[in-house]
Structure 1
C-alpha cells in the first residue's frame, strides 16, 4: 500500500493483476484482500473481473472508511470488515463462506501503509516529532510510548533485536531506561535524538537512519504484526480452493522470511524419502509462481519510493489442503 501525495499508488499493481488473472475469471470467484488499506489493488482487481466478489479486511477503521468510498462503485460485490488478517477464518464464517477450500485468491500487502505514515499524529514516521502511538488500529490500547515506558529492559532488548534486527539494542535500551526514569517518553522527537546519540557514527553513515530499526521494532510489537502473520498464513492457504492463488507483498526481511517458509513448506512432497512413487494425497499442495522474491523495477521505484523495499511472492494451490 502506498501513496504519492494524495494519489494512492498500489505497489506492483500490474504484476498482482497478472498473477491473479487465471484464478479470478470464474463467476463464483471470491478474493480476500487481507490488508485493504486505501483499496488500490482491490479497485483494480474488481474492475478487471466484473464477476469477482471481494472481502476486504483492515484493522484501521480510517482505512476502511476511505477504501469504502473508493470501492462503492462496485456495489454489493464488496464486503468490508474491521479485522486483523489472522481473524480470516472467523470473518469468512460470519459471511457464510467456507473457511477451507473456498477462495480464488488472497492478497496480503503487509506493513504500515503510506496513509498511516503520512499522518504525523499516528507516530509511525521518525521524520516528524509526534506522539509515540504507532497503533494501526486506533481502537487498540497498547502504544509505542507504553512499550518504551513500561516494558522491562530485557524485553525491550529482545524486541529491538528480534523485530528490528538492531545490533545496538542493549546500548539503546540502557539509555532508554535512564531517560524514562527522568521523564516518561511521549513524543518521537526525544526518542530519535536518543537514537542518534546511542548508535555509533560509523553505523549511522552506512546503516541508514539510526531510528529506522527501533521504530520498526516498536511498530511490530504494538501491532503484533509477526504473530498475526504466523497465524494468518496457514489460514489463508487453507482457505484457497484448488487453482486459487495467494500473492504476498512484504517490506522487511522478517515478514518475507515467514512468507517464504510457509509457501515452501507446502510446495514440497510429503512422500517419505526413499519411496519410489508419490503416495496419493502426499504431493505438493502449492506450486510456487515466483522464483524467489520479485522486486519492483527502477522505473516503479522512482515513481513510488515505497516500492523500493517490496518483496513479492506468489503461489497456486494444486492439491486440496490436507
Structure 2
C-alpha cells in the first residue's frame, strides 16, 4: 500500500543523500515509518490491518462451519453434528501475527480451508482485508475476492455462505457501539486498489481514536473518491456520533475540504488541530529538495515546543 497519510508529530529528520527522487522517497519512507510507531499503525500489534484480518478470518471460518454443519450458530437441531466451541490459533501474515478463534465441531470432521489445520502462515491477505472492509464493494465483488482465496476446491454455495458471514461480520464491526467520549480523534487515509467496474486507486479514510484509558481504537473505515466535501464529512461524523460518541476533545486532520466545518457542526466544542506533518510538507513546497533537511531541523523546535512563547 502506498500514499499513506500520517498523524500529528510524526516527523523524522532526513539526511540528504542521492538524487532528488531518492531524497523524496527517503523522506516519505521515514515519515511513514515514524507515523506507524507514533500515530496510525497499519501493521503490528493492535494495528488496523491486524484487527481487520482477525475479524474477516473469523467471519470466514464461521461461514465455513455453518456450511459444513448445515445450520446457523445457536440454531436448534434435533440430531447430527454440532458446534463445539473454538480453539485459539496464531497465524503469521504480512501484517504480523494474528490470533484467531477457530470453530470446532463435536464429530471432529470440520476441515477449514481458509486457515487449514496445522497451517501457520497466510499470504495475500493485506490488500484483500482493506478492500473488503472499505464501503462500496458489492456482494459479487466480495464473493470474487473470497473465491480467489479459496480457489476451485470450494463450491459456489460455500463461497456464498462464507461471503454472507464476512459481510455480516464487517457490518457488525463498522456499526458497533462506541464510547461516549474520546480525548483525541485522528482522521487519516490510505490509498488502495478497489474494484468499481474497473480497478482504481481510491482513498480509504481511517478514523482512529485515543480512548480515555490511553489505548488506540479504530472506529471505522470509509471509502471515498478523492472529491469529498463538507456534506460527506458531516455524514461520516454524524454516523460516529450516532454510534454513541457524544463529545470529542480534539480532532487531528490534514485540513481536508469541508472537514473542519463538519467537526464544528457535530462536536462544537472540539478543537480542530491541523496535522503537523502536513504543515511541514506544505512548507517544503517553497524550497528546493536539497534544503528539506535544513528546514525540517529548523522547524522541529517550533512544533515540539511546549508553549507558543517557547516556539517564537
Which protein is richer in strand relative to its size?
2
- Determine which structure has more spread, i.e. the larger CA radius of gyration: 2
* TM-score, structure 1 as length reference: 0.26
TM-score normalised per structure 2: 0.27
